[in-house]
Amino acid sequence: MKAKVYVTIKENVLDPQGVAVQGALHTLGFAEVEKVRIGKYLEIDLNTASRAEAEAQVKEMSEKLLANTVVEDYRIELED
């Protein structure tokens, strides 16, 4: 089982890197860019066949370590 975890900065928290990249895209002429948010992407290989177990484990990992839920959100995708 493979888990993909996307960690992003919460909507109400400023993302200075995203703002800087947005500015750079505007400079490049991509005037249609309205917002950029930068996050992290993690791939985790799990030695389990149970989807439910994998989901519970990765959720716990995300809460404990992968994301700081004070300022970040996370989203999990599982692949067989």
Partner 1 sequence: MKFAVLVFPGSNCDIDCYKAVKEIGADVEYVWHTATDLSSFDAILVPGGFSYGDYLRCGAVARFANVMNEVVKAAEQGKYVLGICNGFQILTEANLLPGALIRNNGLKFRCHQAPLEVVNNENPFTREYAKGEVINIPIAHGEGNYYCDEATLTELQANNQIIFRYAADSNPNGSIDNIAGISNKAGNVVGMMPHPERAMSEILGSADGKRMFTSILNAWREQHGTTING
Cα–Cα distance between 80 and 64 in angstroms, integer? 24
Report the residue number, 50 or 68, with the smaller CB distance to partner 1: 68
Cα–Cα distance between 19 and 2 in angstroms, integer? 32
Among 2, 17, 51, 60, binds partner 1 (CB under 8 A): 17
The alpha helices in 29-71, defined as continuous H runs, are: 51-61
Among 1, 5, 9, 61, binds partner 1 (CB under 8 A): 9
Under the binding rule (CB under 8 A), the answer on residue 52 touching partner 1 is no
Cα–Cα distance between 58 and 47 in angstroms, integer? 12
Cα–Cα distance between 23 and 1 in angstroms, integer? 39
Under the binding rule (CB under 8 A), the answer on residue 65 touching partner 1 is yes
Among 8, 58, 66, 74, binds partner 1 (CB under 8 A): 66
Binding residues for partner 1 (CB under 8 A):
9, 13-17, 20, 40, 65-66, 68, 70-71
